[in-house]
A and B are shown apart, each in its own frame.
Chain A
Amino acid sequence: MPKVHYLNASYGLKSWLLTTDHKRIALLYLASVTFFFFIGGLFATMIRIHLLTPGGFLVSPETYNKLFTMHGVTMVFFFLIPSIPAIIGNFLIPIMIGAKDLAFPKLNLLSWYIYIIGGCFVLYSFSTGGLDTGWTFYTPLSSIYSNSAVTPAVIGVFINGFSSILTGLNFLVTIHTMRAPGMTWFRLPLFVWAHYATSIIFVLGTPVIAITLLLAGLERMFHLGFFNPAMGGDPILFQHLFWFYSHPAVYIMILPAMGVISEIIPTFARRPIFGYSFIAGSSIAIAVIGFLVWAHHMFLTGESVYAALAFSLMSYLVAIPSAVKVFNWTSTLYKGSISYDTPMLYALGFIGLFLVGGLTGLFLACLGLDIHLHDTYFVVAHFHYIMVGGAVMGYVGGLHFWWPKITGRMYPEFLARIAAVVLFVGFNLTFFPQFVLGYLGMPRRYHSYPPEFQALNVMSTAGASILALGYLLPMVYLVWSLKYGAIAGPNPWPATGLEWKTASPPPTENFDVTPVVDWEPYDFEHRPDLALEPGIGGLLPAHGDD
């Protein structure tokens, strides 16, 4: 390990809390996001235990409603949305493009503080009466009828929005103006493209959720009537505004994970990614088309039939760029030289689970089927497949992939592979039964259910306990590795990105001299500096005769 790096360049609490180094801010985010993941996971565990019996045996109906609401709010706004962008993206984007830092380091720090302040409001709400509106905050339930602590929660999510906006803004500007010499747009790693697309959504979508929640909050605090039919307002307008952000937000969650996968696959297949420009372009396409589909969450609110037709059609169109990605990843394996290291296992798991999640999105986007499936457990299974099976897998996989870069140490490979398999199995056991439950008609957000649904619920709960174990394992060995892990060296895999050309952990200014990029992305052939085989440095094409 290098003698001086960003971790030991200075010491003391102050050097962390006032840092403007994007790498340190990323670690601040890592700590706080993990904290929220635990909180959300705790709620999830209680949900699953409660649903073991038809009557529900853990908590009262009120409490159950609070549990899934707080689970959704924490997981979406305080865990998954900031997870990859604010941790891995924050850490890596400047390094990947050869910059010393993000364009606005102080804003970057500010966005973390905003996140923390928003988080405090939400925690305050959770601990003083909880929140029972569903993570969707539908009015007039949230603005008038709910007796729980809606106001602080709404304020917290509102504040948190500005954290997202600042992060997205910072990324956009950085990618535009801070690239190192030679780092052209089409040499950008696909991870950076994915974050560019994500940032577009951050910047264009987040303000709308902010204003929506502000209006709903004002409505609640001052008894106004924007969304209250009793006073002339329209509750469906709230849903339009809410989903205008919240549908694109699901792409905020998945695009960065797709970026991670696009890095991992070529690295462990050791060949250029198949269809670079299609993968890059599809990220942008998802970000743009993703803004045109929001009312597919509202097919049964009585929205105009014409609007429903248009939104359903657009929902199908937005599936195409996702398909392009999946096919290109698969093709990248063709004639590669594939190793099964842990990050690769996560990437493969991602593809499989995202596939199921994405394809079940097609069921929901189908107008005729959504009549039956809307607001059943089918929807719950759909989005957990994408968000947990997809996005969280991508996040954990990314953590493993860049862990050596971030900490300078390797984690125990064997344990890590076991954990990946446990996660995969536990995940499927938890959420696959929910598809069946949904088709059978079990509505979501039910604290009790008819007895005929019990068998599947028990399966799901059993799976969830395996899943929890799967998350516990990495926690333990990653922390363990901080002290005992093997020294990683600058480029352990080896991989082609610019981030692997600097030391692990990187120095405060990322590079000793500003790098000049003169190679194409994911090109293993013309990179003798990679030292694929330590000591030999030889390059051996896998299938020389082809």
Chain B
Amino acid sequence: MHRTGELYGQFETLEQQKDTAQLGMWIFLVTEVLFFGGMFLTYTINRHAFSAAFGIGGNTLDLRLGGLNTVILIMSSLTMAMAVWAAQVGKKKRVTGFLIATLILGGAFLGVKAIEYKQKYDHHLIPGSTFNVTYCVNNPSSCGLAGKQLEDERREIEEAIKAEENENPGSGLIALNAHAQLYFSLYFAMTGLHALHMVIGAGLLLWLIAQSFGGRFGPGYNTPVEVTGLYWHFVDIVWIYLFPLLYLIDRHN
């Protein structure tokens, strides 16, 4: 009944409405912190217990792709922040532009992630019966491994299972496999959930973009852009932690 323009019925003023939406999103992000937090805790404890296997797991990840994704994601945070800014200062065309840029970057991130997942699949690093940390060193050609890189990886894995190779073929490998598999379970759970958040974010962006074509967001009303921005930046922050924890555990070896 009180719908004037963008004001919803339960509110008295636009200010109140904006205030409410922002607080709502912040509180939602708190729940997200604890949601991911449970997983970080699981990660911490397992990593502490099996540092060798986790180190090997981390080193099989492709640092270039991970680094690229970090850059992409931070860039998308920048464009998102700029979209909010454009709305605040009333540059309505640019709002759309920045939102589209953010969406493209987000899509690129997911694309790279898909490539990485595919790679893990090819390298037999998906937890399950086909899981095998040594697949790549045993089949270097199918992993594109060669030269020094191959040597390094082989040395690393060999170090971990050397004893077993001499005396007791088969047993050290099993443990290493089990613990590396734990690493990859966490890797997929964490990056998978992160990617799921990206997908949801992309959906929100699509919805914003559709609306921004009509020039809906300006200095007077930009709550949806701002609130989606908060979410997007949060997803960025999760990655900021995932990247060193998953990719950089044991690089100095």
| B179: Cβ under 8 A from any A Cβ | yes
| A232: Cβ under 8 A from any B Cβ | yes
Smallest CB-CB separation from B179: which chain A residue?
A232
Contacts of A170 in B (CB 8 A): 24
| A178: Cβ under 8 A from any B Cβ | yes
Complex: how many Å from CA A349 to CA B12? Answer: 42
Q: Is the CB of B182 within 8 A of A101?
A: no
| B16: Cβ under 8 A from any A Cβ | yes
Interface of A is mostly: helix
| A231: Cβ under 8 A from any B Cβ | yes
Known contacts A215-B42, A233-B46, A234-B45: does B27 contact A222 (CB below 8 Å)? no
Option from A103, A211, A215 in Cβ contact (under 8 Å) with B20:
A103
Q: Is the CB of A207 within 8 A of B12?
A: no
A181 to chain B, nearest CB (A): 10
Known contacts A211-B35, A211-B38, A212-B38: does B10 contact A102 (CB below 8 Å)? yes
Contacts of B49 in A (CB 8 A): 232, 234
| A118: Cβ under 8 A from any B Cβ | no
| B142: Cβ under 8 A from any A Cβ | no
A265 to chain B, nearest CB (A): 31
Contacts of A155 in B (CB 8 A): none
Q: Is the CB of B50 within 8 A of A232?
A: yes
Option from B23, B46, B186 in Cβ contact (under 8 Å) with A173:
B23
Complex: how many Å from CA A233 to CA B46? Answer: 7
Q: Is the CB of A169 within 8 A of B28?
A: yes
Contacts of A223 in B (CB 8 A): 127-128
Q: Is the CB of B37 within 8 A of A101?
A: no
B244 to chain A, nearest CB (A): 21
Option from A207, A237, A514 in Cβ contact (under 8 Å) with B35:
A207
Contacts of A165 in B (CB 8 A): 28, 31
Q: Is the CB of B189 within 8 A of A215?
A: yes
Option from B37, B41, B182 in Cβ contact (under 8 Å) with A231:
B182
CB 8 Å contact bits of B23-40 with A (1 = contact, 0 = none): 110011011111111110
Q: Is the CB of B50 within 8 A of A173?
A: no
| B245: Cβ under 8 A from any A Cβ | no
Option from B10, B46, B178 in Cβ contact (under 8 Å) with A178:
B10
Q: Is the CB of B185 within 8 A of A203?
A: no
Q: Is the CB of B19 within 8 A of A210?
A: no
Q: How many residues of chain B have a CB within 8 Å of chain A?
A: 38
Complex: how many Å from CA A231 to CA B182? Answer: 8
Q: Is the CB of B127 within 8 A of A222?
A: yes
| B9: Cβ under 8 A from any A Cβ | yes
| A105: Cβ under 8 A from any B Cβ | yes
| B76: Cβ under 8 A from any A Cβ | no
Option from B16, B38, B181 in Cβ contact (under 8 Å) with A177:
B16
Known contacts A101-B10, A207-B35: does B30 contact A232 (CB below 8 Å)? no
Q: Is the CB of A225 within 8 A of B182?
A: yes
Option from B16, B34, B45, B127 in Cβ contact (under 8 Å) with A224:
B127
Q: Is the CB of B12 within 8 A of A226?
A: no
| A314: Cβ under 8 A from any B Cβ | no
Complex: how many Å from CA A509 to CA B2? Answer: 11
| A100: Cβ under 8 A from any B Cβ | yes
Q: Is the CB of A226 within 8 A of B185?
A: yes
B239 to chain A, nearest CB (A): 17
B132 to chain A, nearest CB (A): 15
Q: Is the CB of B12 within 8 A of A514?
A: yes
| A241: Cβ under 8 A from any B Cβ | yes
Complex: how many Å from CA A214 to CA B35? Answer: 10
Complex: how many Å from CA A105 to CA B178? Answer: 48
Q: Is the CB of B178 within 8 A of A241?
A: no
Option from B10, B16, B41 in Cβ contact (under 8 Å) with A241:
B41
Complex: how many Å from CA A212 to CA B1? Answer: 44
CB 8 Å contact bits of A464-490 with B (1 = contact, 0 = none): 000000000000000000000000000
Contacts of B27 in A (CB 8 A): 169, 172-173, 203
Q: Is the CB of B9 within 8 A of A208?
A: no
Complex: how many Å from CA A101 to CA B46? Answer: 46
Option from A101, A105, A208 in Cβ contact (under 8 Å) with B38:
A208
Smallest CB-CB separation from A104: which chain B residue?
B24
| A239: Cβ under 8 A from any B Cβ | no
Q: Is the CB of A208 within 8 A of B23?
A: no
CB 8 Å contact bits of B148-169 with A (1 = contact, 0 = none): 0000000000000000000000
Q: Is the CB of A177 within 8 A of B185?
A: no
A94 to chain B, nearest CB (A): 8
Q: Is the CB of A177 within 8 A of B19?
A: yes
Q: Is the CB of A169 within 8 A of B24?
A: yes
Q: Is the CB of A204 within 8 A of B42?
A: no
| A380: Cβ under 8 A from any B Cβ | no
| A218: Cβ under 8 A from any B Cβ | yes
Complex: how many Å from CA A233 to CA B182? Answer: 8
| Docked complex: B108-124 residues within 8 A CB-CB of A | none
Complex: how many Å from CA A234 to CA B41? Answer: 12
Option from A169, A176, A215 in Cβ contact (under 8 Å) with B39:
A215
| Docked complex: A194-233 residues within 8 A CB-CB of B | 203-208, 210-212, 214-215, 218, 222-226, 231-233
Complex: how many Å from CA A183 to CA B32? Answer: 31
Q: Is the CB of A208 within 8 A of B37?
A: yes
Complex: how many Å from CA A218 to CA B189? Answer: 9
Q: Is the CB of B181 within 8 A of A231?
A: yes
Complex: how many Å from CA A204 to CA B33? Answer: 9
A237 to chain B, nearest CB (A): 6
Complex: how many Å from CA A241 to CA B16? Answer: 37
Contacts of A231 in B (CB 8 A): 178, 181-182
Contacts of A240 in B (CB 8 A): 41
Known contacts A100-B10, A169-B28: does B181 contact A225 (CB below 8 Å)? yes
- 4 A-B pairs closest in CB distance: A211-B38, A207-B35, A101-B10, A224-B185
9 contacts across the A-B interface (CB closer than 8 A): A104-B20, A177-B16, A207-B33, A211-B38, A223-B128, A225-B181, A225-B182, A232-B179, A234-B49
Q: A207-B33, A224-B185, A241-B41 are in contact. List 13 more A-B contacts (CB 8 A).
A: A100-B9, A103-B10, A103-B20, A170-B24, A177-B16, A178-B11, A210-B35, A214-B189, A232-B50, A232-B179, A232-B182, A234-B46, A240-B41
